[in-house]
A and B are shown apart, each in its own frame.
Chain A
Amino acid sequence: MTAWNLQVRNLRKHFGARAVLDIPVLHLEAGHCVLLSGRNGAGKSTLLRILAGLETPDEHTEVNIDGTPRPWLRARRALRRDVIYLHQHAYLFDATVEANAAYGLRVAWTPTRQWRARVREALELVDLDHLAGARAGTLSGGERQRLALARAWVLQPRLLLLDEPTASMDREARDRTAGLLKRLKSDKLCMVITSHEPHTLATLPDDHLQLVEGRLQAAPPPAGPPLWEVEGAAPAPEGSVPRPAPSAGATPRLWESRG
């Protein structure tokens, strides 16, 4: 996968008189994983939906993909091509597991032989190949989320936006989802993950930001030890202090705040 980067400038969004987002610069690039936290109504989902081209920001928002700056409206098609947004509760079409995984390839008129092979690979990746012929409505919560990930993975997006991907999951389902996310990250896929419980994703993200009154800022260290460890990651020593949030000076900043 080629290096890819996205820069959004002057990202603002109002609902009526209420300012929901006010982000001067947001920068994302291939292989980078950002954890985004914030209180209810802080604007996390709105930010993700704007990045996915599903919601229109206020005027003057500029999107720069791979060095080509464009107004948001003109960049929307490119965003919809490169970015996939996964809802908190994955919507699965009323069809089989295989048909769901193949949806994006089929609407792109991919030849049947090709999409079948790609979908088989994706279902094996998420360990749902044995359920390929089952109706998607019969899957459990964790299986639904894995199918949604497979459905996104077959399209090889540049940026994956995950809205609370582990919400309402038990530990086993969270572990499996986390393992998949780690695998996707190793494929140089850029990810933004929102979570109300940032400590549950402590070992996965490169950066942890939080939205406060519509503005991005470095998040404080997680409140507790991770609820689970990503497969392959070294477990935290007993009694150790949780990983602190990255300092602004250690790596180039992904965002800018006003004032």
Chain B
Amino acid sequence: MELVQACKQALVLLFSGNADLWTIIGISFAVSVKAIVIATPIALATAFVLAFFRFPGRGLALSTVNTLLSLPAVVVGLTLYLLLSRSGPLGDLRLLFTQKAMMIGQIVLCFPLLVAWSHAAIEAAERSAWETAITLGAPPWRAVLTLLHEVRFGLIAAVIAGFGRIISEVGSSMMVGGNILNYTRNIPTAIALETSKGSFAQGIALGFVLLFLAFALNLGLSFFQRRGTLGP
């Protein structure tokens, strides 16, 4: 019964426009969207190079990326904390307990996933797609765009998976963000804090947001896969 009661309170909090709650949601989205926007083009370029070129160290690079897929968020947080703390090598940048530090942590976390998934999607593309673009007169950069377009659903899936990974991570954001109200407190760190205080309603409300987000992202992916009309 306590759970039902907490859920009711959570819905009231959400739909009454509770300022604290919506600020937390806003911070979460702002940080994670910026992180994924920065990481995606770099990860795509890396994945393309790994998929299309053969060079010494390529196998090692792929193994490293795959290993980093299981990188715990708290380890990223700890490493960044040591780097960014006052006595650390990057302490002069004064980034610790800022949204930028949270963003860096999230970029590190989603990058291997973006590379691995994009690499798999690009490798699955037929080589004849690239050759057809080239033989029809496309310059190499245009052929790259054509190829990426051909595997766009795999790439969208990579971005969705990457976003899902960082919007819900708590370890890194907690350690390098500091969970400061109205500044670095995001959905996962707020859930952890509210739960430790025994205030379940806000935690559940934020959990609803995360669940709704996951549902919406999956619906969007299915929609694009069915329609397949992102344009040539």
Contact = CB atoms under 8 A, between A and B. Distances in A.
Contact of A107 (B131, B137, B231): B137
B139 A107 contact: yes
Given A95-B232, A135-B228, A107 B128 contact: no
Main secondary structure of the interface of A (DSSP, over half): mixed
A151 interface: yes
B65 to A, nearest CB: 27
A81 B137 contact: yes
A54 B142 contact: no
Contacts of A89: 128
Interface residues of B, number: 19
A161 to B, nearest CB: 9
Nearest to B151: A94
Given A87-B132, A91-B128, A93-B150, A103 B232 contact: yes
A155 B150 CA distance: 22
| Of A83, A99, A106, most B-chain CB atoms within 10 Å | A106
B137 A87 contact: no
A49 B142 CA distance: 20
Interface in A89-144: 89-91, 93-96, 99-100, 103-104, 106-108, 135
A151 B136 CA distance: 8
Interface string A169-201: 000000000000000000000000000000000
Contacts of B136: 84, 103-104, 107, 151-152, 155
Contact of B228 (A87, A94, A107): A94
B132 A155 contact: no
Given A91-B128, A93-B232, A83 B135 contact: yes
B74 interface: no
Interface in B137-166: 137-139, 142, 146, 149-150
Interface of A: 49, 52-54, 80-81, 83-85, 87, 89-91, 93-96, 99-100, 103-104, 106-108, 135, 151-152, 155
Interface of B: 126, 128-129, 131-139, 142, 146, 149-150, 228, 231-232
Given A54-B131, A93-B150, 10 more contacts: A54-B134, A80-B135, A81-B137, A85-B135, A91-B131, A103-B146, A103-B232, A107-B137, A107-B142, A152-B136
5 contacts: A52-B135, A91-B126, A96-B232, A103-B133, A155-B136
